[in-house]
A and B are shown apart, each in its own frame.
Chain A
């Protein structure tokens, strides 16, 4: 036992102490964290608002005023506030609780919308005589830009003569043409286009003698979010989180298992190709060596798991929504990490012991990798319908059962307790089987040099070992 711990300790320190680990695993998330903080700050450092004029050639004479009103900075700002409110209303309650209606969350939300739409542009609408030379007007779009706060011509709107009133006998109304300066911000182009359409609609409505406010009132039905009815009462359905948290938890599980499994493979191959393994075998039994190595990398994976879980919890905490993560889930995550890691890790150790160099391991790894990736490919159907036959069956097929049941546990409709317990039992049986399989291969493989074995050879070793 003491020897096993000694091997495990060396394995852990030798892995965690490498530059690759420190930079890849520890520094990268820190850099990402810093960037997450820095990007909003950097994007607040906006360029100055776009300013300029929009020329309108309006033979109908009824559009220009509407457009000018639509593009007034105060009106633009008001529309944005309303849009933000609509987003707020449409958001699931949990997320909204996370953002909060006041405090840093709300400010951050408003800021996010602000940076998405850019600063409110300062646009002046200039009416141009209908008879004016269109080409000359267009030429003003190619004139060099004036620098600060210039009144450049940004766009020319040509409203068709039949835009407001149909030509006699025509089926459809006319529209408009929009010419813009090169490299004009697309959000400004959209704003102008929306304005022209809004003004034309307004002109048509009043031309037809109708009341626009009344029409809008008649044609608008508010959007509501669905409410989930459960035994505990009614709650807002939060579809996004329903899928995000399970996926994040399963991804974390998969990542730690794969990472520590990969390390286990690498260090085993290294010990074998370094020929240090026979020296070790004079001091420890193959079983002690294998289990010690597996435990060492188990600790590495646990460190990674704890690190990323901690980061995630800090992120949730900063949005005051740590409550979204059920503490029981963390316990389940640890249990299923243990089961998943041991069954996959044992295979990795066995493969590492059987080959002479890392390159040869790839062929043997493929079946294991495909197996592990199955839950990743199936996360969508499983998290959509966590109690489907597919999900239930896969919950009892080790080693993927560990990932699938994790996905289901974190979903909005967790599996019944008996399924969780059965899945754990199946997972434990899987661990036992793969340790048995691996131990027999490990013992033979470690001292076997030369032609790398294929999967059939491994099975034969396991049978005869």
Chain B
């Protein structure tokens, strides 16, 4: 089975700016890949090159076994970041048009459109003009336009931006459905928490360079957790004993809980036992590194100029999933 996407040494410059530099990527068929990185990292440029909307200056690519996405357009679904609708067109007409452009105008197209609209809670809007819909509704229609022809490869550029939590979840389920159906999914986001929840493989881009390309599980394993999260059963409990426990190097308050940094040589399991024995816990757990942490880790390693707070802000969408604020 050929890989869905293969990129080799892809480079694209705009004037003096190198948008993407020597980019290699292999996405196997049936995978669910997330491309993450802050705004301006080169995600959209990469996606546009995959789709042959932009031509790379250098490098080779293959999409669904073809030398160019042009030859496989009908098998690809694409939701661009800059998405729009024909304002005066009716929703049903628009979806029919998009399906016909993808050569998917079977006899059952009308029924299919209607059932899709119902599935995303848009039953009855078929004859409304696109401009009459709310922004969230328009976004759902745009997503339907990307999948109406049952693509083998689904490429979504920032699919979750601008959606409320309810619709974010709906969209996540739809993407999952497509993935389960067998479609290869590649999506980009600057919100790392979303990628963490959704995909099984992550590619990180920073300033046009690929800085990470790995399975979520492998990433987690590689970035060995060195912190524990501890929350006492009794919020008023005296926690001064924590600092004395063997293997704990540093104790910091983190909201209602405490963040314990392990001593350099300490193994987590005995420390957890000792903590639980010292003070009755509501919860004590290994603090897994989030993608955000991993990203910051990598970026500060590759570029000394990394301003931590700025980068953190760039990859975090307020209210979109971080569990707790970090000091």
Tell me, yes or no, whether A binds B. yes
Interface residues of A, Cβ cutoff 8 Å to B: 2-3, 6-7, 10, 14, 18, 271, 274-285, 447
The answer on a CB contact under 8 Å between A6 and B101 is yes
The answer on a CB contact under 8 Å between A282 and B89 is no
The answer on a CB contact under 8 Å between B83 and A275 is yes
The answer on a CB contact under 8 Å between A278 and B103 is no
The answer on a CB contact under 8 Å between B103 and A277 is no
The answer on a CB contact under 8 Å between B103 and A282 is no
Q: A278-B53, A279-B78 are in contact. Are A284 and B84 (CB under 8 A)?
A: no
The answer on a CB contact under 8 Å between A277 and B84 is yes
The reply on B238 being an interface residue by CB < 8 A is no
Give chain B residues whose Cβ lies under 8 Å from the Cβ of A3. Answer: 101, 103
Which of A10, A18, A275, A283 meets B82, CB within 8 Å? A275
Interface residues of B, Cβ cutoff 8 Å to A: 48, 51-54, 70, 73-74, 76-80, 82-89, 97-98, 100-103, 142, 145-146
Q: Find the A residue at minimum CB distance from B87.
A: A274
- Rounded to whole angstroms, the CA-CA distance of A81 and B88 in the bound complex is 61
Q: A281-B53, A282-B53, A282-B80 are in contact. Are A7 and B101 (CB under 8 A)?
A: yes
Give chain A residues whose Cβ lies under 8 Å from the Cβ of B74. Answer: 283
Which of A14, A282, A284 meets B88, CB within 8 Å? A14
Give chain B residues whose Cβ lies under 8 Å from the Cβ of A285. Answer: 52, 70, 73
Which of B76, B83, B89, B103 meets A279, CB within 8 Å? B83
| CB of A448, distance to nearest CB on chain B (Å) | 10
| CB of B130, distance to nearest CB on chain A (Å) | 9
Q: Find the A residue at minimum CB distance from B55.
A: A443
A sample of 5 cross-chain residue pairs with beta-carbon separation below 8 angstroms, ordered by A number, consists of A2-B103, A14-B86, A279-B142, A283-B74, A447-B48
Give chain A residues whose Cβ lies under 8 Å from the Cβ of B83. Answer: 275-276, 278-279
| CB of A295, distance to nearest CB on chain B (Å) | 15
Q: A6-B97, A6-B100 are in contact. Are A283 and B87 (CB under 8 A)?
A: no
Give chain A residues whose Cβ lies under 8 Å from the Cβ of B102. Answer: 283
Give chain A residues whose Cβ lies under 8 Å from the Cβ of B70. Answer: 285
The answer on a CB contact under 8 Å between A283 and B73 is yes
- Rounded to whole angstroms, the CA-CA distance of A271 and B142 in the bound complex is 15
Give chain B residues whose Cβ lies under 8 Å from the Cβ of A7. Answer: 101
| CB of A10, distance to nearest CB on chain B (Å) | 6
Q: A6-B100, A284-B101, A447-B53 are in contact. Are A278 and B87 (CB under 8 A)?
A: no
Most chain A CB atoms below 10 A, which of B85, B97, B142, B145 = B97
Q: A279-B98, A283-B102 are in contact. Are A274 and B53 (CB under 8 A)?
A: no
The answer on a CB contact under 8 Å between A282 and B78 is yes
The answer on a CB contact under 8 Å between B86 and A276 is yes
Give chain A residues whose Cβ lies under 8 Å from the Cβ of B76. Answer: 282
Give chain B residues whose Cβ lies under 8 Å from the Cβ of A14. Answer: 86, 88-89
The answer on a CB contact under 8 Å between A279 and B73 is no
- Rounded to whole angstroms, the CA-CA distance of A14 and B73 in the bound complex is 24
Which of B52, B85, B97, B142 meets A10, CB within 8 Å? B97
- Rounded to whole angstroms, the CA-CA distance of A115 and B7 in the bound complex is 82
The answer on a CB contact under 8 Å between B97 and A279 is no
The answer on a CB contact under 8 Å between B82 and A278 is yes
Give chain A residues whose Cβ lies under 8 Å from the Cβ of B142. Answer: 279
The answer on a CB contact under 8 Å between A276 and B84 is yes
Q: A2-B103, A14-B89 are in contact. Are A283 and B80 (CB under 8 A)?
A: no
Most chain B CB atoms below 10 A, which of A18, A271, A276 = A276
Give chain A residues whose Cβ lies under 8 Å from the Cβ of B88. Answer: 14, 18
Which of A2, A6, A274, A447 meets B86, CB within 8 Å? A274
Q: A14-B88, A284-B73, A447-B48 are in contact. Are A278 and B101 (CB under 8 A)?
A: no
Most chain A CB atoms below 10 A, which of B52, B74, B101 = B101
- Rounded to whole angstroms, the CA-CA distance of A6 and B84 in the bound complex is 19
Q: Find the A residue at minimum CB distance from B102.
A: A283
| CB of B252, distance to nearest CB on chain A (Å) | 45
| CB of B22, distance to nearest CB on chain A (Å) | 22
| CB of B110, distance to nearest CB on chain A (Å) | 17
- Rounded to whole angstroms, the CA-CA distance of A23 and B142 in the bound complex is 32
Give chain A residues whose Cβ lies under 8 Å from the Cβ of B100. Answer: 6
Q: Find the B residue at minimum CB distance from A3.
A: B101
- Rounded to whole angstroms, the CA-CA distance of A275 and B82 in the bound complex is 6
